[in-house]
Amino acid sequence: MNVVPHLVVALALFVPFTAVNSAPEADKLQAVSRSTVWQRLMHYSISEHGHSAKSQVDDADFFLAEDGRTNPQHELSATLEAFYFAVSDPDQHAICRYPSRWKFLSAQFDLAEPPLSPADCPEFSQWLAAMDPHSVSLVLASSYLNSPSSMFGHTFLRVDPANVEQGSKWLSYAVNFGAELNAQDNSILYAYKGLFGGYPGFFSIIPYYEKIQEYSHIENRDLWEYNLNLNPQETRDLVSHLWELRDIEFDYYFFDENCSYRLLELLEFARPTTELTKDFSYRAIPIDTIRSVLNGDLVDTVDYRPSSSTEIEYRISLLDQEQQALAWQIAHKNASLESPQLTALPAQEQAGVLQLAYKHLRYLQLENPRNQVAAQYSLDLLRELSRLPDKKASHPPTPEVSPDQGHKTFLLGLTGGESMDTGFLDLRVRLSYHDLADNRAGYLDGAAINLGELRLRKSKDDGLQIEDLSFVDINSHSPRNRFFNPITWRVQLGMQRQYSSNDDFLTTQAHGGAGLTYQIAQPVLVYGLAMGRVEFNELLDTKLVVAAGALAGGLAYLPFGTLQLESQYYQFSDGKDRHATRLIQNLPLGQNSALRFSASHNKQVETDFDEFSLEFRYYL
């Protein structure tokens, strides 16, 4: 427990103000308390007109004044007082607990000699020496659809020592901000708490190699390392402020005050001339925060670290079908290292087969790292590789388009079309993020995450009305092969307008399904899913119905854009059926714009109709 705040409250009534050689003027205290650095040190949010402040820190132990969370000037005065309290344990002294506050305030005021300096703080000095901060990188882990908190990706900082240029990233540290979850919470409670700040968030620091193992090896997520141009002093300032935030609680909000937003705050403190958080008042998607850092001219270079699955997929692409099968058989000991199928190959092709077998075996070992038999077999494969004259392994090339160069995540769309022989205009607004047919560059093939999508329609026969309102829509279409066997799945919750021959109704519905996806050619995915649906619909006799069905479709990533064809069928519990077939052609016009043609045939509530549309889509 941090005893400094309690000492301040207890002693402030008895200790005279001796923090400065001459009592500071009120104007000076007020000016410093309103300074950018002090506000960022305390994580204050200032009202639009500057009349009130409130810190986003939700932990009373962080503040030295009773009203320090909402009164920057009182907190500043209490901090100056605390610098001159005598405590028996130097590690509990305010200067040791808040070294960044001391550094800043000692430069603003003519302070008297304190009882100690940061150099006299054993725990802080040892911790800082162990970190040896010299430079910082902002790391983006690609999206991970099996974790709700990481569906949009995840960012964290890497703090490097002075000799990182010599290949010492394994000695670096990862700085992460994350929610402390309750394992007993169900998915509904998890979503509620994540949206409304029900989980506490904390900073943590772990060795970088552990993050590499977690993301790149275990969760199969590529890492993009944005190496920042913070100088050594700015890096040290950032790390010193992290010391102040140890075990300090923030409310965690999934959309805005999340992992990526908190890291921007750290970077703003390290370089006070930057403005990184001002555009993230209601949502902070990781890739958008990366763009903010790039726009702030904080990035020097970008490095790409492929995941284990990317490494394997790359090695698969270098071999023909027979060689791929042989590598799988060798990894699973269904073929020996002396197999004529292997020894008859040229040395370079033997190396390719063995490298794939070795990578696949190591990937399988992640599920059982203590398997000594598999570990020994891995060594046997490496030994066999070492005997080959051409054994140097190539690495996956860096993708031509990095995630930050993909389309932006907020979408506006304007559509003109015809349905039931009647013209219409649609306005689409989507808060985030990417659908299956959106501009492909910078995003994962076969993955789609959309939250908060509204489509309004004005037709000749009807006034302006809601056509669709989607709360959440997630699609995961990772292709299967002999090395990977992912399950394809999708889930959607929202409201959809359904039509009969003489009426329409905005239904509330949820549907989802699971199935398989295969890649039949380099740019083509085909998929099939078993589907289920539950729906409340006033057009039906029983109002609330459930349905079972099937869906089949395909995605072709063509040079001029993405083509999607999809057909689905449902049999409902009231005996009625429903089906739809849709063709989409998305044509990128630039990084953040596209034209989308759509044609569909639909059977809904005892009515059949066709719909054709052309949409201009703009991402911002």
Stretch (H or E) spanning 471? strand 465-476
CB 351 within 8 A of CB 357: no
Q: Give the distance, in angstroms, between the CA of residue 414 and the centroid of all CA atoms in the same chain.
A: 28
- 252-283: per-residue pLDDT in tens? 998 888 999 999 999 999 999 999 999 898 88
C-alpha 582/C-alpha 290 separation (Å) is: 35
Average pLDDT per block of 10 residues along the chain, 620 residues long: 48 44 74 96 88 93 96 96 91 96 95 87 95 96 75 92 72 92 80 84 94 78 96 98 97 90 97 94 92 97 93 94 96 92 93 94 82 88 87 84 96 96 96 96 94 95 92 94 94 94 91 96 94 92 93 97 98 93 98 98 91 98
* Confidence at residue 2, expressed as pLDDT on a 0 to 100 scale: 54
Question: Which amino acid is located at 382 in the chain?
Answer: L
Side chain identity at residue 22, one-letter code: S
Predicted local distance difference test score (pLDDT) of residue 16: 41
CA terminus-to-terminus distance, the chain: 45
Kind and range of the H or E element at 234?
Answer: helix 232-244
Q: Is the pTM of this model over 0.75?
A: yes
Here the tokens at position 362 are 């190591």
pLDDT of res. 23: 56
Which pLDDT does position 172 carry in this prediction? 93
* Residues facing residue 619 across a β-bridge: 411
Structure confidence at residue 88 (pLDDT): 87
Instruction: List C-alpha distances in Å: 153 to 169, 172, 514.
Output: 22, 21, 23
Q: CA-CA distance, 285 to 620, in Å (whole number)? A: 13
Sketch out the chain's domains with CATH numbers: 4-129 (no CATH), 132-305 (no CATH), 319-386 (no CATH), 406-619 (2.40.160.40)
User: How would you class 276 by CB atoms within 10 Å of its CB: exposed for 0-12, middle for 13-18, buried for 19 or more?
Assistant: buried
Q: Which helix (H) or strand (E) holds 302?
A: strand 299-305
Residue with tokens 């555009």: 279
- Strands 593-603, 577-590: pairing is antiparallel
d(CA 129, CA 136): 16
Torsion of CA 203, 204, 210, 211, to 10 degrees: 0
For residue range 521-575, what is the model confidence (pLDDT) as tens digits? 888 999 999 999 999 998 888 889 999 999 999 999 999 999 999 999 999 999 8
Q: Which two tokens stand for residue 180?
A: 């402390």
Q: In the prediction, which pLDDT does 148 show? A: 63
- Tell me how far apart the alpha carbons of residues 404 and 224 are, in angstroms, rounded to a whole number: 10
> Which residue spans within 327-421 are E strands per DSSP?
411-419
> Looking at residue 9, what is its pLDDT?
43
- Angle (CA) 255-260-266 rounded to 5° is 130
